[in-house]
Structure 1
Amino acid sequence: MKKSFILAAVAAALLMSGCSQKKPEVDMTKQETTEKPAPAVTEADTGVSGVVGTEEVGELTTLPEDARLAKIKELEASTKKIYFDFDKYNIRPDQEANVDEDAQIFTSDAAKDLTIKIEGNCDEWGTDEYNYALGLKRAKTVRDALALKGVDENRMVMVSYGESNPVCTEHTKECWAKNRRVEFELLP
């Protein structure tokens, strides 16, 4: 009897401690987006040009799909990453200028109709669960800061990649500092 009880307890422990899949933790509370159909594009519309950033780019909806996606990627590349201290989710004073620049980009005419995906990332220290939660806290802090600077909260969605999306894989302090960040993806 004791033998079968111990065997059952070991089997239950093995089942409960199985490997888990790493999946990003996503905040679905602000994912209300409305898709607007793009107007018909004529040959005259394909000549729309402009400079990316806070300057006027022209209506993205009037561009052909390939040009529109290229302009969105150009805007996205001009955004600044926000870096954090170890085990922290408050915006450092030296990163406030980056938040200001990002807010200017996101409130510009070029980006006014785009959804902003705020991606929270962590270094490899801590458990997976802790890092997913910390990444989400970092994304929320940046979302709140952008909202204070005039970016519509309904345009922003957050995702935490925890430690699963490193930009540097060396085991050094400099590398870990690069991974403690929030970055952005612009979605049509």
Structure 2
Amino acid sequence: MRKILFTSIAAFAVIISGCSTKSTSVSGDSSVDQRRGGTGGSDIFGADGQINGVEKVYFDFDKFNIRSDMQYVIKNNAAFFNNEASGISFVVEGNCDEWGTDEYNQALGLKRARAVKEALSVQGVNADRISVKSYGETNPVCTEKTKACDAQNRRAEFRLAR
């Protein structure tokens, strides 16, 4: 089964080579850098199962609704999942900053992941392909004690379902 999956993924990656690189900032906060593409555009799957052809979705403090400035990210990610990656199942991972109790942040991360799943479904991505998971505050990408760092941790990421 793994050999079949690996062969399918490798063939898929060869077919869709040529993703572009795009760097944007979130809500005027230049400390949050998003990348579209990956390693030269030839492989959409990172070594850790992260999907290189999609952008992270960022959230406001203590919120799980999709911000207006993240609507284009949802639209672009949905197009990617509906076209270049139409055959894969994936996980939306909700993450939080360190503020709040562990239990609260676990629930908030799940609400963020579910909000992204719903938004992608509205854009035509089959909900059966999407799983959700919350890391709460346990998976930070930045550990500095700054507002800019906290903003980077309030996010949803995408990984290949295993």
Gaps of 5+ in 2: 21-41
Q: CA deviation at 1:52?
A: 4.9
Supply the distance in 2 between the matched residues of 1:114 and 1:159 (Cα, whole angstroms): 17
How large is the RMSD of aligned CA atoms in angstroms?
Answer: 2.6
Query: Identity over the aligned pairs, expressed in percent?
Result: 47
Of 32, 42, 56, which residue of structure 2 is paired with 1:81?
A: 56
1:113 has 2:87 as partner: yes
Cross-structure match for 1:165: 139
What letter is aligned with 1:73?
F
Q: Which of 86, 90, 103 in structure 1 is aligned with 2:78?
A: 103
CA distance in 1 between partners of 2:45 and 2:113 (Å): 20
Aligned residues: 132
Structure 1 residues without counterparts, runs of 5 or longer = 1-34, 55-69
> Counterpart in 1 of 2:43?
71
Q: Of Structure 1 and Structure 2, which has the larger fraction of its residues in helix?
A: 1
Following superposition, the deviation at residue 49 of structure 1 comes to: 4.1
Secondary structure at the counterpart of residue 38 of structure 1 = helix
Higher alpha-carbon Rg: 1
Choose between structure 1 and 2 for higher RCO, CA contacts under 8 A separated by at least 6 residues: 1
Determine helix, strand or coil for the equivalent of 2:45.
Answer: helix
Where in structure 1 do 4 or more consecutive aligned residues deviate above 6 Å? Answer: none
| 1:158 match: secondary structure | strand
**How does the TM-score come out when normalised to structure 2?**
0.73
CA distance in 1, matches of 2:127, 2:112: 16
2:45 partner letter: K
Equivalent pair of 2:44/2:53 in contact (CA under 8 Å): no
Contact 2:17-2:43 within 8 A present in 1 as well = no
